[in-house]
């Protein structure tokens, strides 16, 4: 499935900072700027959205939302990279990357989270477990933190 506007069939997408870096990922759909789609989108490989989408998104691999992408949906995917706007809850089982132009209105649940300076998140953030999450964090003076039961960090 592909929604393209102004591209020839053989033309490839330019490299951008939002292109997924997972090896072996194949682009299975592309909703280009100026296109709109409403409904339930389910896919196994990688989908990039630069247009508008409203509904529900479910993926076994990677969702990329470009700078012009506008999503109003619940998103469930293994990897999610966002440079555009998302209104709705995001569930990224492994990794969520919010680039500096990302705008999120909704709750986030992710295995890991990377946020560039300038990204906006209005909602709750829940991280899935590692060893530190299981023990919890303890506040220290000066805005530092440590895992409960661990020695306090030293230095500046």
Find the angle CA(105)-CA(136)-CA(75) to the nearest 5 degrees: 25
Taking the model in full, what pTM does it have? Answer: 0.68
Beta-bridged to residue 57, according to DSSP, are 41, 75
Looking at residue 29, its pLDDT comes to 75
* Integer Rg of the chain from CA: 18
Looking at residue 19, its pLDDT comes to 40
pLDDT along the chain (156 residues), means of 10: 40 37 59 90 92 95 96 97 98 96 97 95 86 54 60 62
Residue 123 · residue 108 · CB < 8 Å: yes
Question: Which structure tokens are listed for 59?
Answer: 């993926």
Beta-bridged to residue 120, according to DSSP, are 103
Looking at residue 89, its pLDDT comes to 98
Which residues, including other chains, have CB under 8 Å from residue 13's CB and lie 6 or more apart? 19, 27, 30, 48
H-type helices in the chain, by residue range?
Answer: 131-135
Looking at residue 4, its pLDDT comes to 40
């Amino acid at each position: 499935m592909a929604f393209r506007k102004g591209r020839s069939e053989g033309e490839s997408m330019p490299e951008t900072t939002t292109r997924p870096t997972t090896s072996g990922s194949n682009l299975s759909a592309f909703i280009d700027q100026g296109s709109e789609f409403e409904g339930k989108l389910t896919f196994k490989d990688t989908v990039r959205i630069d247009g508008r989408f409203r509904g529900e998104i479910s993926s076994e691999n990677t969702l990329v939302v470009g700078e012009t992408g506008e999503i109003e949906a619940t998103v469930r995917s293994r990897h999610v990279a966002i440079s555009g706007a998302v209104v709705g809850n995001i569930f990224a089982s492994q990794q969520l990357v919010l680039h500096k132009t990302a705008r999120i209105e909704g709750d986030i649940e992710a295995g890991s989270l990377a946020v560039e300076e300038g990204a906006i998140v209005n909602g709750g953030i829940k991280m899935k477990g590692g060893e530190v999450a299981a023990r919890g964090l303890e506040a220290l003076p000066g805005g530092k933190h440590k895992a409960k039961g661990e020695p306090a960090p030293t230095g500046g």
